[in-house]
Amino acid sequence: MADKIKSPVDLLALAEKAKAEVELRSGAKDIKVTVHMGTCGIAAGAREVVMAFLSEVSNAGLENVTVHQAGCAGLCEMEPMATVRTADGSLYHYGHLEDRSRVREIVRSHLAGGTPVTEYLIKTPQA
Amino acid sequence: MAEQAKERNPGCTGCEEASEEELLRRLDEVIANYKTRPGALIPVLQMAQGIFGYLPEVALKRIARGLGKSYSEVAGVVSFYSFFSTVPRGRNLIRVCLGTACYVRGGMKVLEALKKHLGIDVGETTPDREFSLEVARCFGACGLSPVITINDNVHHRVKPTRVAEVLAQYASNDGPQDQVVRADEVQATTEGLEVPRPGGEVIADEAPVGPSEAVSAGAGERRV
Amino acid sequence: MDKVRTDVLVCTGGGCIASGALEVSAAFSKELEDLELDEEVRVIETGCLGPCAVGPVVLVYPDGVFYQNVKLEDVHEIVEEHLLKGRVVQRLVSQAPGTDRTVAEISDVEFFNRQVKIVLRNSGLIDPLKIEEYIARGGYQALAKVLTEMTPEQVIDEVTLSGLRGRGGAGFPTGLKWKFARQTPSEVKYIICNADEGDPGAFMDRSVLEGDPHSVIEGMAIGAYAIGAKQGYVYLRAEYPLAVERLQYAIDQARERGLLGPDILSTGFDFDLEIRMGSGAFVCGEETALMRSIEGGRGEPRPRPPFPAVKGLWDKPSVLNNVETFANIAPIIMKGAEWFASTGTEKSKGTKVFALGGAIQHAGLVEVPIGIQLGEIVYEIGGGIPDGKQLKAVQLGGPSGGCIPKTDLNVPIDYETLQDLGAIMGSGGCIVMDEDSCMVDVARYFLDFIQDESCGKCPPCRVGTKRMLEIVTRICNGEGREGDIERLEELGQIIKDTALCGLGQTAPNPVLSTIRHFRHEYEAHIRDHYCEAGVCTSLFTARCTNACPASVNVPGFVSLIGEKRFHEALRLHRERNPLASICGRVCFHPCESKCQRGALDAPVAIRSLKRFMTEQETEIELPEVRVDPSNAARKIAIIGSGPAGLSCAYFLARLGYKPIIFEKESSPGGMLVQAIPAYRLPREEVGREISMIESMGVTIQTGTALGRDFTWADLRAQGYEAVFLAVGAPQGIRLGIPGERGEGVMEALTFLRDYNLTGTARVGEEVVVVGGGNSAIDAARTARRLGARHVTILYRRQRNQMPAWTEEVVAADEEGITILELTAPKQILRDAQKRVVGVLCERMALGDYDRSGRRRPVAGRNPDFTVRCDQVIVAIGQSLDASALLDGLPVGLEHGWVKADPRTGATSIEWLFAGGDAVSGPASVVEAVAAGERAAVGIDQYLTGANHAFWRREVAVDVPFDPDADPVATPRAPVVCLDPELRACTFAEVELPWSLETAVAEAKRCLRCDYGKVSAIAAEAEAIVQRAAEQEAGLVAAHGAGLVTSHVAGVAQTEGEVD
């Protein structure tokens, strides 16, 4: 039997705790990370990259980021790849993200701090 | 809370072979449970119909006595609500939706086709007690009109020319055991006309469908 | 795995469950398990997402990809492609309307992105069986807020300020209702939720209870706090088992969590809830009846006052609101009254959920701001009418509401406006009706419903609706009498004024509103025994025949074709329409759109069969002609040899008359030869049927024009006793823009006439045609064949609204003609030599809905542009110069056309009859044929005082048919066309003949709606007339009331007078 909610404070606490349950469905956020998961991407470890982004985003406490998956970006030699779309619509393509530390750096520097990690970028931003 | 669910649902299983005494005993339980609650008559009648499949006079008298009401008051309430039936229904209850959306999309033609096919009118039961035919006003599946329900299964976008196919799924040749229809087979034979029952069970799980089952399900007494 | 990365939401609203959603959901779980993805991808069964018609629907988050019509066998592909590899399965996502672009994301789907979700905020997004998900979305925080921070009075003030009005129908202000109950002193009070959603066609309450039950519980708890109640009841329909199940589950959960029961959130507030199930009585939707039912009695209403807020359930102060109203409460408390009031209109705030159903593409549940235009719901959100049919009306408010015709699509939907139009907001049932709905039948349907559901307590409702039902039923059966409409109006008013409860008082609404907006349909049923929609089956034998303006016995000739009895088939056709070959090529076949076969697979290709039949004709066989020397001696003139004139002459000839036709041009046929191009209608076909008519004793004098070669006075002086005026609509309409006058701009009719009559017409290199009708397409395709390098059609509305027939538009496309939609000419540009060099065009945008139910084109914001050309052909309409034509003859006109009795063609001058385009405005061949026939009967009646139309007798064909055989789905035989490459420079007929096998097989697809009905109908009609005759003592014949177009009455009428 679930615990009784005894006060408004309890209620808020439960809401906070349960938030993760529905977070994925909460609609468009400011920043969208798309991990490219074509056959080659998956072979190169794209699934792990998705999970890495999710947990890093969650660790960093970022609430304005959603992580999506999409098909092959067409640059197989750069896989695994991810595209970051920021609130202003700019696109940043990152490549070779096998190493989780790269994901961590992108999350901290770019998603949280607003500074793209140029080192891992494949292309310069497009309008 | 399981207590409550059970209490709401006393007649839901194994009523097929039960004797009349057994059924009346269950009715007495229901009456005892509800006796002290305000406005008990209608819920008790709903339960009773779930137990018996319809409302025989003996049950009505028992209810009247149990709740301390006159028989005429009980009978008056029964006759007021279309949901209550004082005559037994067929093994399969067909309800044709004549809500506006279904009507506009040809529900009447479906009804005519069913009448013709079964050779009975609305409110009647086939001589072999296989099918009863009723009309209903809207199941709230207007997006899929025209709709009919057979027992608890919703059949949507029914075409008058195809009612035979729909009914074939319920017809029994050598007794109820043979009417087992698996949902996946249905899918194959009727091109999407069939539907699984709400609650996620395939039809096979509940064959044979006794009259009481059909009715009690209609009364919304399925388990969560 | 430390986190779920994707949620798969499977809609398990009632509609989707009925389409197999539960199996789809189970399949997802299994597939994911097999691929070991079940820890990172979650499957969640949610409440209704709305678009029930395309269910089962599945939403994948966070991508927001929306899949529709997901079948069991699709699950594997979605899991494999999308959930594993991240590739959206394009095949299962919806298409953006009017484009080839598929839309994947839910935010792109028009159905969703015009909605504003307050009530349905969680529906489809959360798992209704998990209270935690509701709480995670902010649930129960409004309850916490009111219990800890607000007094009951403050709650009531907030709700009052928000402007929320009861969503159950009448729209009473919710805050006010609560205030009354609050102010009534009593130890015990009740709060009740009306979930007895009895209006057929409304299912929003069900959806909320199934998809977000806690929102109702929370709203009720807040209401209970506000009025001071401790106990609540939800009165729920027994027909909604899933809603009962989920609400009960939610109540149990809330109780378990301490959100229901004693001392909620340790604030000392006690509140609990119980479900009571309805038992199938519509009247229990009325508040006093509902309370009586909870008490355990017969659900009969009682008079108010006292109002329930003072004396309700068990005589205690009670508040009754419906499900949708309660679902609005928590957001109002959390976001504030001002936020809520910012949506909606001045008097009606917030949103309204509508259950969109009937003849609509995207049936389902939509939540829209109050004040939205009806047209936006029907077209933008609902996706319009399926199968290319026309909208007729929208029924709002169920049995208490009314129908809004398509002429009022512009109206904002709010409580007051709807009331003014004779409808009501009601609980939100929104049933779209197309041309196949008969409004008299709809009224009968609702009356039948009300009559069935009337509790019987008060006589106005019990007896009054019964009486009304009798009258409406009589009208539907073809037994209506003059005065019936007025009787209905009178009865309706009495019931409105005197019935006891709201249901009784609104019961006449469906009848009164249909009379108000569709009186002509009632009149057609009563006077002509004609049901335009083809619904009232006692009025006709088959829907196709009923739809044919000329009442051709369609199942008859089609079934004879199936037997290869072509001559008999043709003879039967020519009983009612002499121009079989012509119509076999150019008829717009209204019969096909009513074909019953369409309900099974596709309509029978009636027009193509007709064409095939005429191709089998070796020698014209003349129809039955009744020789009558006295008729032959009467002088009748027909002016104009188009289809109306030819038809009138044909039928007069069959009665033994010898009429003469005067034709202005050098060859007979009117528009058939002047306007319709030969590639659609070969001239020898026209010639053949004209010769047939001539050989029956009709004289056609060509090159003889009224006003030029003879005058009205001449006709009378020469002893013509009756004249039929059928000159068509021969003049074009000008654009009225600069540069129009002068060389290089011509009217389509002139252009087509020049070419068709003389064999040559001037055509440019680059040609622009303005207009969207058949004349525009004919001119464009003709210009192309005469050597124009490029032809562009400018049309000011959207392409799918072009009045030209779809087949023609498609053919124009195939022939390389450019169609620019939403483009209007502004100026015709000329060079120094005054030669046309181009058209300056304006980009149009779609404005409000006009009276035709289409969006009005208005000037758009895009810049003007120029289409280069050296010739402009104008095809924007046709007219009649009536004053020149009539030359002082005092004939009544209507909108510039000659006014004539639609039944007899009689004009305001007793010897002058008229028909065809000159009366109706530009219409079709078959309508002109029908007008000619009616005028022939009218003229005969005028000359002899009796009706001799023997051909109107319906005869049964003897083709055998097994009505018990179940039809097997077979595709419709396609039209075969000449290769577009070959068409460009030839006037050879585009449509190619069918083979014998194709035609016979196609004919056998006919379902024979006439089978066994002809004799029954004839007998019925006889009986009706008999009764009418007895009642009105022979007045029928004398007044010509029996001179009706319907074959039914026609049969009866001629009975005894002919033979």
pLDDT band at C104 (very low <50, low <70, confident <90, very high): low
Which residue's entry shows tokens 């209903």? B136
Least confident among A11-15, C322-326, C606-610: A11-15
Q: What is the pLDDT of residues C299-323, one digit of tens each?
A: 899 888 899 999 999 999 999 999 9
Assess whether pLDDT exceeds 60 at residue B12: no
Does the beta-carbon distance from A19 to C136 stay under 8 Å? yes
CA C1045/CA C1048 separation, integer angstroms: 8
pLDDT of residue C60: 87
Least confident among C482-496, C745-759, C982-996: C982-996
pLDDT of residue B144: 77
| C183 min Cα distance to partner chain B (Å) | 25
pLDDT of residue C711: 94
Paired sense of beta strands B148-150 and B153-155, if any: antiparallel
The phi and psi torsions of B10 (rounded to 5 degrees) equal: -70, -25
For residues C516-525, average pLDDT? 96
Q: What is the ipTM of this complex?
A: 0.72
Q: What is the pLDDT of residues A66-114, one digit of tens each?
A: 887 776 666 667 778 888 888 777 888 888 888 888 999 999 989 888 8
Assess whether pLDDT exceeds 90 at residue C200: no
pLDDT band at C108 (very low <50, low <70, confident <90, very high): low
CA B103/CA B110 separation, integer angstroms: 10
Q: What is the pLDDT of residues C397-414, one digit of tens each?
A: 888 889 999 999 988 999
For residue C958, what are the CA distances in angstroms to C196, C557, C1008? 53, 11, 12
Whether the CB-CB separation of C59 and C88 falls below 8 Å is answered with no
For residues C164-169, average pLDDT? 88
Does the beta-carbon distance from C136 to A21 stay under 8 Å? yes
pLDDT of residue C399: 86
**C731-878 in CATH: which number?**
3.50.50.60
Q: Report the domain count for chain B.
A: 2
Of C3, C63, C132, the CB nearest to A55: C3
Nearest-5° Cα angle at C378, C374 to C383 = 155
pLDDT of residue C822: 93
Residues B145, B98 share a domain = yes
Residues B168, B143 share a domain = yes
Residues B161, B184 share a domain = yes
Burial label for C105, CB within 10 Å (0-12, 13-18, 19+), is middle
Least confident among C547-561, C578-592, C767-781, C1006-1020: C1006-1020
| C197 min Cα distance to partner chain B (Å) | 9
Does the beta-carbon distance from C72 to B5 stay under 8 Å? no
Paired sense of beta strands C790-794 and C766-770, if any: parallel
Does the beta-carbon distance from C265 to A67 stay under 8 Å? no
Residues B157, B117 share a domain = yes
pLDDT of residue C236: 93
Mapped onto helix, strand or coil, the DSSP state of residue C401 is: coil
A48 and chain C: CB distance < 8 Å anywhere? no
Assess whether pLDDT exceeds 70 at residue C107: no
| A120 min Cα distance to partner chain C (Å) | 22
Whether the CB-CB separation of C366 and C387 falls below 8 Å is answered with no
So what CATH class is C629-730+880-947?
Answer: alpha beta
CA C388/CA B74 separation, integer angstroms: 53
pLDDT of residue B199: 36
Residues B119, B159 share a domain = yes
Does the beta-carbon distance from C248 to B8 stay under 8 Å? yes
Residues B146, B44 share a domain = no
Q: Report the domain count for chain A.
A: 1
Residues B203, B102 share a domain = yes
CATH number assigned to the domain with residue range C343-437, chosen from the 4 options 3.30.530.20, 1.10.260.40, 3.10.20.600, 3.50.50.60:
3.10.20.600
The DSSP output letter for A111 is: I
Q: Is A61 domain-assigned?
A: yes
Q: Is A85 domain-assigned?
A: yes
Nearest CA in chain C to B80: C298
Which residue's entry shows tokens 């005067």? C662
Q: What is the pLDDT of residues C359-382, one digit of tens each?
A: 888 888 889 999 999 999 999 888
- Give the domain extent around B102: 92-208
pLDDT of residue B189: 32
Q: Name every residue whose Cβ is closer than 8 Å to that of residue C57 and which is 6 or more positions away in sequence.
A: C11, C16, C21, C49, C51, C66, C67, C68, C69, C70
Q: What is the pLDDT of residues C636-681, one digit of tens each?
A: 999 999 999 999 999 999 999 999 999 999 999 999 999 999 999 9
DSSP line for C519-539: HHHHHHHHHH---TTS--GGG
> Chain C contacts of A11, Cβ < 8 Å?
135, 140-141, 144, 265
Does the beta-carbon distance from C238 to B198 stay under 8 Å? no
Residues 64-123 of B with CB under 8 A from C: 73, 76-77, 80-84, 97-106, 109
User: Mean pLDDT across chain C, nearest whole number?
Assistant: 89
Question: In this structure, what token pair is assigned to residue A17?
Answer: 């705790």
CA C607/CA B125 separation, integer angstroms: 45
Q: Which fold has domain C6-110?
A: Glutaredoxin (3.40.30)
C-alpha dihedral sign at C903, C905, C906, C911: negative
Nearest CA in chain A to C126: A22
Whether the CB-CB separation of C851 and C749 falls below 8 Å is answered with no
pLDDT of residue C103: 57
Q: What are the structural domain ranges in chain C?
A: 6-110, 131-341, 343-437, 545-622+955-1003, 629-730+880-947, 731-878, 1013-1054
Assess whether pLDDT exceeds 80 at residue C113: no
Selected residue with higher pLDDT from C305 and C271: C271
Q: Where are the beta strands (DSSP E) in C87-230?
A: 190-195
The DSSP output letter for C105 is: B
User: Which residues of C lie closer than 8 Å to A, measured between beta carbons?
Assistant: 1-7, 9, 40, 61-64, 84-88, 107, 125-126, 130, 132-133, 135-141, 144-145, 147-148, 253, 256-259, 265-266
The DSSP output letter for C913 is: E
CA C285/CA C298 separation, integer angstroms: 13
pLDDT of residue A63: 80
Whether the CB-CB separation of C567 and C621 falls below 8 Å is answered with yes
Whether the CB-CB separation of C493 and C425 falls below 8 Å is answered with no
Q: What is the pLDDT of residues C550-607, one digit of tens each?
A: 999 999 999 999 999 999 999 999 999 999 999 999 999 999 999 988 877 899 999 9
Q: Do domains C131-341 and C629-730+880-947 have the same CATH topology?
A: no
Q: Is A83 domain-assigned?
A: yes
Q: What is the pLDDT of residues C832-882, one digit of tens each?
A: 999 999 999 999 998 888 888 888 888 888 889 999 999 999 999 999 998
Does the beta-carbon distance from B221 to C20 stay under 8 Å? no
Assess whether pLDDT exceeds 90 at residue C801: no
Nearest CA in chain A to C41: A24
Nearest CA in chain C to A49: C5
Check which CATH number belongs to the domain holding A109 and give it. 3.40.30.10
Q: Is B86 domain-assigned?
A: no
Least confident among A77-86, C496-505, C533-542: A77-86
Of C206, C255, C294, the CB nearest to B140: C206
Q: List residues bridging with C358 in a β-sheet.
A: C432
| C129 min Cα distance to partner chain B (Å) | 10
Q: Is A15 domain-assigned?
A: no
The pLDDT > 90 percentage for chain C reads 62
Most confident of B127-141, C86-100, C774-788: C774-788
Assess whether pLDDT exceeds 60 at residue B126: yes
Residues B111, B74 share a domain = no
pLDDT of residue A29: 66
CA A77/CA A41 separation, integer angstroms: 9
Does the beta-carbon distance from A25 to C7 stay under 8 Å? yes
Does the beta-carbon distance from C136 to A38 stay under 8 Å? no
Counting Cα atoms < 13 Å in the Cβ hemisphere of C385 gives 23
Q: Name every residue whose Cβ is closer than 8 Å to that of residue C187 and which is 6 or more positions away in sequence.
A: none
Of C79, C42, C45, C47, residue with least CA distance to C62: C42
Q: Which fold has domain C545-622+955-1003?
A: Fumarate Reductase Iron-sulfur Protein; Chain B, domain 2 (1.10.1060)
Does the beta-carbon distance from C238 to B154 stay under 8 Å? no
| B22 min Cα distance to partner chain C (Å) | 25
- Give the domain extent around A54: 32-120
> Chain A contacts of C6, Cβ < 8 Å?
24, 69
Selected residue with higher pLDDT from C801 and B191: C801
pLDDT of residue C608: 96
Of A4, A37, A55, the CB nearest to C85: A37
CA C877/CA C884 separation, integer angstroms: 19
Does the beta-carbon distance from C298 to B140 stay under 8 Å? no
Most confident of C33-37, C552-556, C754-758: C552-556
C-alpha dihedral sign at C293, C297, C302, C308: negative
Does the beta-carbon distance from C279 to B145 stay under 8 Å? no
Q: What is the pLDDT of residues C130-147, one digit of tens each?
A: 899 899 889 999 999 999
DSSP line for A22-71: HHTTS---SEEEEEE-SHHHHHTTHHHHHHHHHHHHHHTT-SSEEEEEES
Selected residue with higher pLDDT from C363 and C252: C252
Residues B203, B113 share a domain = yes
Selected residue with higher pLDDT from C94 and B2: C94
pLDDT band at B177 (very low <50, low <70, confident <90, very high): very low
The phi and psi torsions of C838 (rounded to 5 degrees) equal: 175, 175
pLDDT band at A22 (very low <50, low <70, confident <90, very high): confident
For residue C341, what are the CA distances in angstroms to A20, C501, C1050? 31, 31, 60
Selected residue with higher pLDDT from A18 and C770: C770
B146 and chain C: CB distance < 8 Å anywhere? no
Chains that touch A (3 or more CB pairs under 8 A): C
Residue from B35, B118, B138 whose CB has the most chain C CBs within 10 Å, to mutate: B138
Residue from A21, A58, A85 whose CB has the most chain C CBs within 10 Å, to mutate: A21
So what CATH class is C131-341?
Answer: alpha beta
CA B39/CA B32 separation, integer angstroms: 14
Residues 149-168 of B with CB under 8 A from C: 152, 154-156, 159-162, 164
Check which CATH number belongs to the domain holding B103 and give it. 3.40.30.10
The pLDDT > 70 percentage for chain B reads 68
pLDDT of residue C984: 76
Q: Is B224 domain-assigned?
A: no
pLDDT of residue A1: 57
Whether the CB-CB separation of C199 and C427 falls below 8 Å is answered with yes
Q: List residues bridging with A31 in a β-sheet.
A: A65
Q: Name every residue whose Cβ is closer than 8 Å to that of residue C841 and which is 6 or more positions away in sequence.
A: C794, C820, C823, C824, C825, C826, C864, C865, C866, C867
Assess whether pLDDT exceeds 80 at residue C723: yes
Whether the CB-CB separation of C828 and C738 falls below 8 Å is answered with yes
CA C859/CA C758 separation, integer angstroms: 40
Residues B199, B106 share a domain = yes
CA C154/CA B174 separation, integer angstroms: 68
